[in-house]
Amino acid sequence: MKYFRTIYTVWLREMRRFWRDRSRLIGNLAMPFMFLAFLGVGFNSSFSIPGLEGGYIGYLAPGIIGMSLMFTAIFTGISVIFDKQFGFLREMLVAPASRWSIVGGKILGSSTITLISGFMILGIALLMGAIPLSAITVGNILLAMVIMVLTAFIFVSIGLIIASKMNSMEGFNLIMSFLIMPLFLLSGAFFPIENVPGWMQVLAGADPLKYGVDGLRSVLIGVGELPVAMNVLVLFAISAVMVLIASLLFRKMEA
Amino acid sequence: MAIIEIKNLTKKFNGLTAVDNVSLDIEEGELFGFLGPNGAGKTTTISMLSTTLRPTSGTATLAGFDIIKEQHDVRQNIGIVFQDPSLDTELTGRENLRFHGRMYNMPHDLREQRIAEVLELVELTDKADIVVKKYSGGMKRRLEIARGLMHHPKVLFLDEPTLGLDPQTRRRLWSYIHNLNKSENVTMMLTTHYMDEADKLCNRVGIIDRGKIVAVDTNHNLKKVVGGDVVTLGTDNPQKLRAALETEVKVGKIEVKEDSITFVISDGDHFIPQIIKCAEHRGIDISSVHSDEPSLEDVFIHYTGKRVRDKEADEKDNFRDHVRQRQKMRR
């Protein structure tokens, strides 16, 4: 009971901060929207993916949802660095509460925010006609939600792992260039991984986001490389490992 | 039983001893000052007592709970105001307190009642629903003190509570701390490197230097060790007064100025009236009396042999040195 209370407390704080900073939400939506609107419409006019009936914009939409999930999740996870800098982490760590619950609350809070932004991009894609309305069934929404939640767990944990090793945002450019961008570009958000050279398929295979994007694409537009169940299984396995590593590192953190 | 019992507490960082075999008892209800220069080991000691840092050896009990074996119970019974700010500046004051109450497992009604009480105590009730980033430095500090007290801790640690605040805000905080110590019936342990802060605020002071406790006693007793009171008498005839003092009362070296004389005397409170009587008797006018205790800074120098100011000491310091020398010889 006490554990849930701590989880809820930390989760609630994340929600409060998120709600208070609504301008951030708009900012979070702007980039994915522009990708969909300009890149999607742009490519739609000149290119088509072999064996794909719908246009390119439909192909791109699940990829952009995946991108938004990853960016939001890593950013919210990494925000623990600000808690370190502003000293609030000490307030949490010195309380008579279990560290597992604190990190659990943090992961759940950041994942909730990630999920909200994922669904908002989904809404935009539906409004733009990128994803057919016929794809929206209760079963599909639940399935998409499972994929989004697992993807969020993975990248929030990665954010937390980075935060446990860094004391300021100074190194963030490096993380952006050498972690976030490759994960994004190799995820198959823009193009099918099946058709790329072998070396790139190997790299993409190690990218957790690939399984999220592929799963969402299967669910939302009915096109996918792997079966949905396979994607969910891989995401589940990676998220379990990542959450565990993040929790262990967080437990050892000294404020 | 003392509320904090520190037994041979030691902390080493890579071979460097930050806290060296510290033993100390703090009684319930005390406002205890932990005084020392920066880097003396004050914060390290507080971190160990508040269970955020593991001692290399030794231990302590807090309200009867061991800081190594019963961390959870220790945490439930302490409040901390950290040296650096530790508020969520994106939340309001009240939201920060609610977060705290939930983390300390306080039931809803009690939590809301305590929030109202502690906000009242630090006079932030009307600012409670403003985001903390709009608070001034002093307001943030007060909110942190309120938060530290919210869950009825038996001990409140205040680590350099007035660091970086302007003199006026510092003085206001002192009065809050002083009053809360009484009204909330909470034992307080305060670290500071401001001598005047420990002097004004604390009943008892422990002086720490390079990880070692060099002296623990009441301010009054510590100052007694240095020597007596520094007394300055204003008069139109200092030479005559000097002659009178030298024959009638035993005092240390007398410093004569144009319209005053200054000397150190032990137990000045008792002797000053006698001196005035004696001066009147000889027809010497005394226009003013000023008596000053030695400061804790003098005490610090006495114990550590270190000066805070540079070698170029002013005359008063030389004067005190001389007195100290004499007293040592007398002993």
Residue A255 in this model has a pLDDT that exceeds 70: no
Give the model confidence (pLDDT) of B54-111 as tens digits.
999 999 999 999 999 999 999 999 999 998 889 999 999 999 999 999 999 999 999 9
Give the model confidence (pLDDT) of B99-157 as tens digits.
999 999 999 999 999 999 999 988 999 999 999 999 999 999 999 999 999 999 999 99
Inter-chain touch B86–A90, beta carbons under 8 Å: yes
Inter-chain touch B103–A95, beta carbons under 8 Å: yes
Percent of chain B topping pLDDT 90:
46
3-state secondary structure of B58: strand
Q: Report how many domains make up chain A.
A: 1
Q: Span B230-237, mean pLDDT?
A: 82
Domains of chain B: 4-223 (3.40.50.300), 226-295+310-330 (3.30.70.980)
Give the model confidence (pLDDT) of A40-63 as tens digits.
888 888 887 776 766 888 999 999
Residue B269 in this model has a pLDDT that exceeds 80: no
Q: Which helix (H) or strand (E) holds B286?
A: strand B286-292
| Structural domain span for residue A61 | 2-251
Residue A67 in this model has a pLDDT that exceeds 70: yes
pTM of the model: 0.82
Rounded to a whole number, what is the distance in Å from the CA of A225 to chain B's nearest CA?
Answer: 44
Q: Is the dihedral of CA A70, A71, A76, A78 positive or negative?
A: positive
Give the pLDDT confidence score for residue B187 in this predicted structure.
Answer: 95
Inter-chain touch A6–B100, beta carbons under 8 Å: no
Query: B148 near B79, Cβ under 8 Å?
Result: yes
Longest dimension (CA), chain B: 74
Chosen for mutation from B74, B90, B133, B151 (greatest number of chain A CBs closer than 10 Å) is B90
For residue A94, the chain B residues in CB contact (below 8 A) are 50-52, 75, 80
Q: Among partner residues B80, B95, B105, which is closest to A2 by beta-carbon distance?
A: B105
Residue B323 in this model has a pLDDT that exceeds 80: no
Longest dimension (CA), chain A: 60
Rounded-to-integer distance, Cα B3 and Cα B313, Å: 41
Show Cβ contacts of residue B90 under 8 Å, excluding neighbours closer than 6 positions.
Answer: A16, A17, A20, A21, B131, B132, B133
Residue A16 in this model has a pLDDT that exceeds 60: yes
Rounded-to-integer distance, Cα B135 and Cα B96, Å: 13
Rounded to a whole number, what is the distance in Å from the CA of A212 to chain B's nearest CA?
Answer: 32
Give the pLDDT confidence score for residue A65 in this predicted structure.
Answer: 96
For residue A93, the chain B residues in CB contact (below 8 A) are 52
Q: Span A171-185, mean pLDDT?
A: 91
What average pLDDT does chain B have?
Answer: 85
**Number of alpha carbons in the 13 Å side-chain half-sphere of residue B71:** 16
pLDDT category of residue B329 using cuts at 50, 70 and 90:
very low
First to last CA, chain A: 26
Q: Enumerate the β-bridge partners of residue A187.
A: none
Say what the ipTM of the complex is.
0.91
Query: A224 near A217, Cβ under 8 Å?
Result: yes
Give the pLDDT confidence score for residue B330 in this predicted structure.
Answer: 44
Rounded to a whole number, what is the distance in Å from the CA of A17 to chain B's nearest CA?
Answer: 6
